[in-house]
Amino acid sequence: MRIGYARVSTRHQADTEALDQQINRLEKAGAEKILYDIESGRKDTRKNFNQLINLAKNGVATEIIVTRLDRLGRNVISIHRTIDALQKVGVKLTILDSPLGNTNSAFGWLTINNIAGLAEFESRLLSERVSFGTEYFRSNLKYFGKPPLDILKMKIQNVFHTLPIGRSQKK
């Protein structure tokens, strides 16, 4: 069976049709079944990803289709572990955005290693940017994130106390 796998990291990405686009492409590529996760590629505990690997190991899957290599994971070791597991059980890996061909060849291994390395680099770079931004806001005493619940509660209570006496919130 040809099984497609799609992944996005956040619910927001799923809501902006990034997931639907992947699923559509997997269907057009002939996937008979599609599994997906809405979870970081850094995690190896993704429910449907692990189900996908089990389907491959149990002989149900003959081919795994993904749109990009980084859908399998976001670090080199994890991606290589996945590819090795698929190769050991004779499951073909098709990456729609890559004209890789044979992943067993020296060239295929080099290409996968480079693409996986770039995926990990991109993930780490994003984390660094978020950390730098958070640190900048905190060091400049600027507000970052959602307001604490007690502040919101006080604002709401203030509205209900001042409305009956005719005061606006701007005063």
pTM for this one?
Answer: 0.65
CB atoms within 10 A of CB 46: 22
Q: Which domains does the chain have, with CATH numbers?
A: 2-98 (3.40.50.1390)
As given in the structure block, the two tokens for residue 45 are 């505990």
Tens digit of pLDDT per residue, the chain (171 long)? 999 999 998 888 878 888 999 999 999 999 999 999 988 777 778 899 999 999 999 999 999 999 988 888 878 788 888 888 998 999 988 888 876 655 666 777 777 777 777 877 887 888 888 888 888 877 877 666 666 666 667 777 776 666 666 665 555
Distance from CA of residue 150 to its chain's centroid?
A: 33
Question: Can 168 be counted among the known catalytic residues?
Answer: no
Residue 45: what pLDDT?
80
Predicted local confidence at residue 29, as pLDDT = 93
Residues 91, 1: Cα–Cα separation, whole Å: 10
Residue 31 has a pLDDT of 95
* Per-residue confidence (pLDDT) for residue 56, from 0 to 100: 94
Single out the catalytic residue among 9, 123, 127, 168: 9
DSSP at 10: S
Q: Identify residue 162 by its one-letter amino acid code.
A: T
